[in-house]
Structure 1
Amino acid sequence: MIAAYNALIGSLSFDPHTEQVLLDPKVLQEHHFYLHLVKYLAPVYPAVPEAAQQRLGVAVYLYFRFALSCDRLIDDKKSLDGAGIKGFFVHIRLLEAAVRELSAFFPAGHDFWPQFEKSREQYLSAILAEKQLAKQSVTLTRERFEQLAAGKSALCYAVPVAMGLLPGADSAQLRPLQQCLEYLHIGFQYLDDIDDYQKDIQEGQPNFAACLLAEKLAAMKLQSPLPEGQERYKLLFLTGVATHCLEHAILNFEKSLASIAGTGLAQLEHYISRNIHKAQEQIKAISLLVDKAKVKASHSSQHQHVAKTQFSVADIEQAIANAKAFLWAAMEDDGSWTDFLTNAGLGRNWITAYVAMNLTEVSCDNALPDKAAALLFSEKFSGAYNPQISSDADSLNFLIGFLHNREYQIEPSLLEEWTAFCSSGGGWSTYHNPAILRSIMGLKAEADVSGWLSPKTCVSAAALYVLSRKAQYGEGYQRSADYLADMQKENGSWDSYWWSSPVYATAYAIQALSASGRYGNSCMKAVDWLCASQSSGGCWNSDIIFSESPLYTAMAMKALLHADALQNAPNLTAAQNWLLHHQTSDGSWQSTYALLVPSPEIHDIREVSRWKKGSFGVNTIVDDHSRVFTTVTVVNTLEYLLTKIRQQ
């Protein structure tokens, strides 16, 4: 269908810029349903030849684009400027082409035209009624909203009419098909009113989600002024309005699906089912985001030791005890911990293994709640981001690290699964199976995911740290250590692919490479870089967000302790004091926007010009909103600090 449309646009001799706009692949993807509507309905009309389907499909889409442009021109205050007038005549030419194509099938006087006129009048009536509502600022009822949505889809009702009037076809399935299209478009409108909420408010257009939100807020009888703009938009999700609209979209999609049961329209059924699944996933995402907001709101922002200038061993011990109390309270009923919300959901297995490795590293005695230990030792626990995702190198790094801390005899199959992420050159990649990765991400078979499949220094440094703690990995350690040493930058640091600061990879690299006497110069350069990058206040920062980071401060501090506690004493004292000053009253340390989720084809994160704060999508930077990841990292560092103090 796209090829036929491209050919027709090419035949109309538009100027190059206009042709480029009309053939924009992104726009065609957005208009997918209307471009392929005839194809979706074609199985009901087997007598209609493929060539006729193509030609009619293009005519339908041309008319759709004309109608869409008219609606926009009515709303656009700039529609009468030069560009607006030019655009109007471009779409007049699309209308003319659509009519020519339709006339080839249905000459003047054909039965099609009166029925098409009826659909057009229904569509126009709905559009005018919507504009009138905008002028009157009338609250939309659900009944009126769905009536308008059905009316705005009326042009589509003419498509099965047209197909049923072609030679050899019949119109026996006309009513079920029209019902299907009606319910489908009502569902679309529920989704559109969420997506277009801010735009509709700004342009004064009727929006059912906005009406529902206004009713919700009025019922709550809030004393303070109601929020506007972005803050009000957030309330769509926090109050349940967005979820309500999504549920009603699903309800109408299901009615649409039921309308064509038994008609053999497999592709259309698949398309509708995809929309149901997408709406269901949006409901899940909203639920997770609301839970995330609640978790963040429950945390303290008050620092415990604001007035103190010196800290004793007892102060450090108390800070650790308070932090562990926070961690025990954050543990889930099944013994797991969660943090970092992304497209893949909440990090669970990865976080639980990381917590376990850090808590049991300095002292295994009673360092981990029994429930957590039982989960980690169970056969069902996998080295993956969460139970729904396949294994990855980082999650396995921390699981293997924990099992080593507990002197557990690791199954050869688990070791084989872990080392499969190590390349022949010694570098470790997060994933190694492109087909599984594409499946997890819902990507097409040809999608480029090479960025996530290639070795990364931050993953390699963490793996090498685990390797360095057991002599049995001598050969594997040496190969990965050589790789990591070769990847060191001139300034002494190592880049982090998945993290917002080189501190992550550099801290693990120092601890891992210092296990061997061969990499002394590399470690010295890295220590010099760490010391030079420490702020005057004693902390280390998140580079991309440029904020003080308890996470990176703890990681850097532990690396300096590991390298030479006496030589780095001034830096360590400043870091220790900063961390103890910044522990909050609930025992935690504040989260950091730390985890990067680059697009999977990207190899170098410097290719990303802008990182979005958030949980979903790619090229995003994600915070450990539960504060579990940061807090356990600080606990591990402070416990390691105590061992160094006691050794003096």
Structure 2
Amino acid sequence: MSQKTISTYFFTRLLDFISPLCDIRNTETFSDFKNAVDYYTYYTFTIDALIDGELDFETSSNPADYKLVKANLRNTRSLQILTGLFGSSSEFWSLMEKYMSTYYSGLVVEKQRSANAFVHDLNSFKSYALAKHAPAFVPSGGLILLFDSQVTQERLEQLLTPLFYGMQMLDDMEDFNRDTISGQLTYCISRTRIYIEENQIENPNNLERFEERVFYMSGIARECNDFAEAQFRQAQELARELQLDELVLWIDSMFQMLKHNQNIIDEVSN
């Protein structure tokens, strides 16, 4: 399962994962809210793909059927539903503005840092990991506003934050080569380039995927995989405390991916 699939699946299942925390008596309202979130998620992922140059504009399909056009229509529909659910004066809108501004500002900073060869450390990694996943805090906050809940938005952020750190580290590891080719500067790439420079490692035979080879053989990949595992364990502990059984099971599937990574790292480094 790719990270894109992981992120998409997680966002589409987020409300199901955390809904046991709320007293949802009006199932119609919950269904409408889920539909609005699905529409907006589609829009957000499409804009993200557009910024990353992943949309194919060379096809001859009808423009009206194109993903970008559909994304705009779904965004409009989402806002119509949300306005009906919350009203124009609800604090939901300030919450949405806050986290979506964090998301889009993060995309800008990410591009700027890549262009300027920024040197990432763990703090800057956590910053862009949260920015990339900031849209998830909007439906979680909306759910609490719509229904009586046993937890606060802050408590949900404590649960979701380590999940996003773990998911982003998996993303950076899996997409190492693709990010290298596209010029996307991540924590994993930054750490590897520092290691190559400090140890004066050369590539006289012009080996393909040279930096990725160093990433796995230097021990950096192991550190990154261990970091992701620690984040998922922290999140799973909180999920168990909150009795979010489906989320606990989903995190188990992340451990399977981490184990697969560990096997690859052991094979390469031995």
Q: 2:67 maps to what in 1? A: 87
Deviations 1:301-353 (A, max 9, x none): xxxxxxxxxxxxxxxxxxxxxxxxxxxxxxxxxxxxxxxxxxxxxxxxxxxxx
Q: 1:230 maps to what in 2? A: 209
Q: 2:47 maps to what in 1? A: 70
Deviations 1:99-142 (A, max 9, x none): 22322321222221111111111111211110111221212121
Q: 1:492 maps to what in 2? A: none
2: distance between equivalents of 1:155 and 1:49? 24
Q: 2:219 maps to what in 1? A: 240
Q: Does 1:268 align with 2:247?
A: yes
Any idea what SS the aligned residue of 2:209 has?
helix
Please state how far the C-alpha of 1:284 moved relative to its aligned partner: 2.9
2: distance between equivalents of 1:52 and 1:247? 41
Instruction: Give the AA of the match of 1:46.
Output: D
Deviations 1:25-56 (A, max 9, x none): xx877622111110000100123444433332
Q: Does 1:252 align with 2:241?
A: no
Instruction: Give the AA of the match of 1:265.
Output: L
Q: 2:107 maps to what in 1? A: 127
Q: Does 1:118 align with 2:98?
A: yes
Q: Does 1:33 align with 2:10?
A: yes
Please state how far the C-alpha of 1:163 moved relative to its aligned partner: 0.7
Is the Cα–Cα contact under 8 Å of residues 48 and 169 in structure 1 kept in the other structure?
Answer: no
Deviations 1:578-612 (A, max 9, x none): xxxxxxxxxxxxxxxxxxxxxxxxxxxxxxxxxxx
Q: 2:149 maps to what in 1? A: 170
Deviations 1:250-291 (A, max 9, x none): 121122223444211111122123213431342134213433
Alignment of 1:315-394 (within 5 A): none
Structure 1 gap segments, 5+ residues each: 1-26, 292-648
Is the Cα–Cα contact under 8 Å of residues 21 and 151 in structure 2 kept in the other structure?
Answer: no
Q: Does 1:52 align with 2:29?
A: yes
Note the aligned Cα RMSD (angstroms). Answer: 2.6
Which of 125, 145, 156 lines up with 1:145 in the alignment?
125
Instruction: Give the AA of the match of 1:74.
Output: I
Please state how far the C-alpha of 1:223 moved relative to its aligned partner: 5.2
Please state how far the C-alpha of 1:98 moved relative to its aligned partner: 1.9
2: distance between equivalents of 1:241 and 1:53? 44
2: distance between equivalents of 1:28 and 1:225? 37
1: distance between equivalents of 2:57 and 2:258? 38
Change (3 A) 1:175 1:49: same
**TM-score, normalised via structure 2 length:** 0.86
Q: Does 1:205 align with 2:221?
A: no
Is the Cα–Cα contact under 8 Å of residues 113 and 185 in structure 2 kept in the other structure?
Answer: yes
Which of 222, 243, 261 lines up with 1:282 in the alignment?
261
Q: 2:141 maps to what in 1? A: 161
Please state how far the C-alpha of 1:185 moved relative to its aligned partner: 1.0
Is the Cα–Cα contact under 8 Å of residues 66 and 92 in structure 1 kept in the other structure?
Answer: yes
**Higher RCO structure, 1 or 2 (CA under 8 Å, sep 6+):** 2
Change (3 A) 1:60 1:258: same
Q: 1:187 maps to what in 2? A: 166
Please state how far the C-alpha of 1:193 moved relative to its aligned partner: 0.7
Change (3 A) 1:253 1:39: same
Please state how far the C-alpha of 1:61 moved relative to its aligned partner: 2.5
The structure that has the greater radius of gyration is 1
1: distance between equivalents of 2:230 and 2:104? 26
Is the Cα–Cα contact under 8 Å of residues 49 and 55 in structure 2 kept in the other structure?
Answer: no
Deviations 1:394-419 (A, max 9, x none): xxxxxxxxxxxxxxxxxxxxxxxxxx
- The structure carrying a bigger helix percent of its residues is 2
Is the Cα–Cα contact under 8 Å of residues 186 and 252 in structure 1 kept in the other structure?
Answer: yes
1: distance between equivalents of 2:227 and 2:206? 26
Q: 2:84 maps to what in 1? A: 104
2: distance between equivalents of 1:133 and 1:28? 26
Please state how far the C-alpha of 1:68 moved relative to its aligned partner: 1.6
Change (3 A) 1:30 1:112: closer
Alignment of 1:502-517 (within 5 A): none
Please state how far the C-alpha of 1:75 moved relative to its aligned partner: 2.5
Q: 1:532 maps to what in 2? A: none
Change (3 A) 1:153 1:30: closer
1: distance between equivalents of 2:250 and 2:143? 20
2: distance between equivalents of 1:77 and 1:58? 25
Any idea what SS the aligned residue of 2:87 has?
coil
Out of 33-42 and 56-65, give the one that drifted further: 56-65
2: distance between equivalents of 1:227 and 1:181? 42
Q: Does 1:61 align with 2:43?
A: no
Any idea what SS the aligned residue of 2:138 has?
helix
Change (3 A) 1:264 1:87: same
